[in-house]
Amino acid sequence: MIIRKILFLWIFLLFAFQSVLPTSLAEQFKQAGYLEICDTQHGTATFNSLYTYFDELIEFLQTNPVWAQKLYSAKERFIRSKDRDYYSTDFFGFYDESQREGRNQISFYYSTHFHEFICSHYPEFNRVPEIIRFLQACFEIQKSYDNLFNEAAAELGLGTIFSSQHGHPPILFKVIKYFPSYSVTRPHYDGTAFSLFLDSTDNQSLLLSPYKSSFAVDDFSSPVREFPRWYNQNSILLIPGVLLTEFSIYPTPHIVAQSGKIRYATIAFAMRPNYISQKTEFASLPNFKY
């Protein structure tokens, strides 16, 4: 009888102890689809400045098509270089889809290697403040998150996934401006290892769902944020992308809902160095068209 009582007490204490342990990152992704983190390095002051520089860049390139073409040519030349292979993607530079129905957005895909390539191969860009200010702002913010991606990979038991001669993950840094008429009909999966939603001027527009075998529109909702968007801190969300599927970590589908106003957002994408994506079938995603 005494042994049975001791065994029962041990089992009770074991379950009680487990209940106060933090949920593993893999389980957090499985249950919620994301991990919220309080970013104390950057807040609204940092990102509002970034969006001001982005607007200046947009105006400059839209009113100076010769420079826009030169930037496009630099991107095309960069994606033929070896540095491009490190990112396993062709998305770099300026994309103006402001007049494309449904899309109605402008974005810039930044990387440190693309930045260095522009400044070294096209020194004339260094004399354009609208370009240099924006690129430097991207650099200063992006460099803060290398360790975060490394720690997330280590927590998942994937400590070598970003191993390369560069010593840090290949990060694509994306800044987006959505216009009031922006509207898409389906969620999507990111072709990344991790996506880190760093800032948004309208958090409620981001809807997501943990991965499931099938989806309905009602499965998608805006995450409840524990940390507010303040002057000197921010709520950032980490989600898995399709490049972790081989490790049985499935991507989090998400969609940016139409808000009817101008909205800015910043995302950091952790890619896999020199990686060739595998063809994988995922659960189909619902149509949000009303």
Q: What is the largest CA-CA distance in the chain?
A: 87
Please give the Cα distance from 137 to 237 (Å, whole number): 21
Please give the Cα distance from 192 to 271 (Å, whole number): 5
Would you say residue 269 has pLDDT above 80? yes
The mean of the pLDDT values for the chain is 90
Whole-number pLDDT of residue 27: 96
Please give the Cα distance from 262 to 197 (Å, whole number): 18
Please give the Cα distance from 287 to 58 (Å, whole number): 31
Whole-number pLDDT of residue 22: 61
- Render pLDDT for 116-132 as a digit per residue (tens, 0 to 9): 999 999 999 999 999 99
Q: Which residue has the higher pLDDT, 23 or 135?
A: 135
Q: Which residue has the higher pLDDT, 208 or 258?
A: 208
**Do 37 and 238 contact (CB within 8 A), yes or no?**
yes
- Per-residue CA distances from 233 to 42, 78, 80, 87, 115 (Å): 6, 35, 39, 29, 27
Segments making up each domain of the chain, as ranges: 23-270
User: Residue range 100-124: average pLDDT?
Assistant: 94
CB neighbours of 171 closer than 8 A, spacing ≥ 6? Answer: 111, 112, 142, 145, 146, 149, 268, 269, 270, 271
- Per-residue CA distances from 220 to 90, 265, 287 (Å): 29, 19, 12
- Per-residue CA distances from 94 to 58, 105, 110, 205, 268 (Å): 9, 11, 9, 23, 16
**Do 223 and 208 contact (CB within 8 A), yes or no?**
yes
Tokens of 154: 């280590």
Count CB-CB contacts under 10 A for residue 251.
25
Would you say residue 12 has pLDDT above 80? no
* Residues listed for the chain: 290
Would you say residue 270 has pLDDT above 50? yes
Considering the chain, what percentage of its residues have pLDDT values greater than 70?
92
Q: What share of the chain is helix, strand, coil (3-state, %, to 5)?
A: 40, 20, 40
From the list 249, 241, 247, the residue with the least C-alpha distance to 268 is 241
Query: pTM for the whole thing?
Result: 0.90
> CATH code for 23-270?
2.60.120.330
* β-bridge partners, 176: 107, 265
pLDDT band at 145 (very low <50, low <70, confident <90, very high): very high
Count CB-CB contacts under 10 A for residue 222.
13
- Render pLDDT for 220-247 as a digit per residue (tens, 0 to 9): 999 999 999 998 999 999 999 999 999 9
**Do 54 and 177 contact (CB within 8 A), yes or no?**
yes
**Do 135 and 118 contact (CB within 8 A), yes or no?**
yes
